């Protein structure tokens, strides 16, 4: 929900409740450049009455085209 897009940036929120009663909500933001992608995900988790926040930051860049041998297991 709360999808937003502006220029080379996008963000959204999501939440769910698992079968064991754990609840989680996350905010995700992406910013793309010509050869880069920066992502931040902040996740709030409540399980058994305890709250935890997890933050993940990712940076990626284009390294070149895929080659046929990349698909091999």
Q: What is the pLDDT of residues 24-46, one digit of tens each?
A: 999 999 999 999 999 999 999 99
Which tokens hold the place of 70? 């990349």
Tell me what pLDDT residue 66 has. 82
Check if the beta carbon of residue 14 is closer than 8 Å to that of residue 24.
no
Confidence category of residue 57, pLDDT binned at 50, 70, 90: very high
Chain length of the chain:
73
Identify which of 13, 7, 1 has the alpha carbon closest to the alpha carbon of residue 42: 13
Average pLDDT over residues 1-15: 94
- C-alpha 30/C-alpha 10 separation (Å) is 5
User: pTM of the entire structure?
Assistant: 0.76
Tell me what pLDDT residue 73 has. 64
């Amino acid at each position: 929900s709360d999808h937003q897009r502006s220029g080379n940036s996008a963000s959204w929120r999501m939440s769910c409740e698992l079968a064991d009663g754990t609840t989680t909500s996350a905010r995700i933001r992406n910013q793309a450049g010509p050869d880069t992608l920066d992502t931040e995900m902040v996740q709030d988790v409540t399980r058994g009455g305890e709250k935890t926040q997890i933050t993940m930051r990712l940076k990626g860049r284009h390294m070149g085209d895929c080659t046929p041998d990349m698909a091999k297991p």
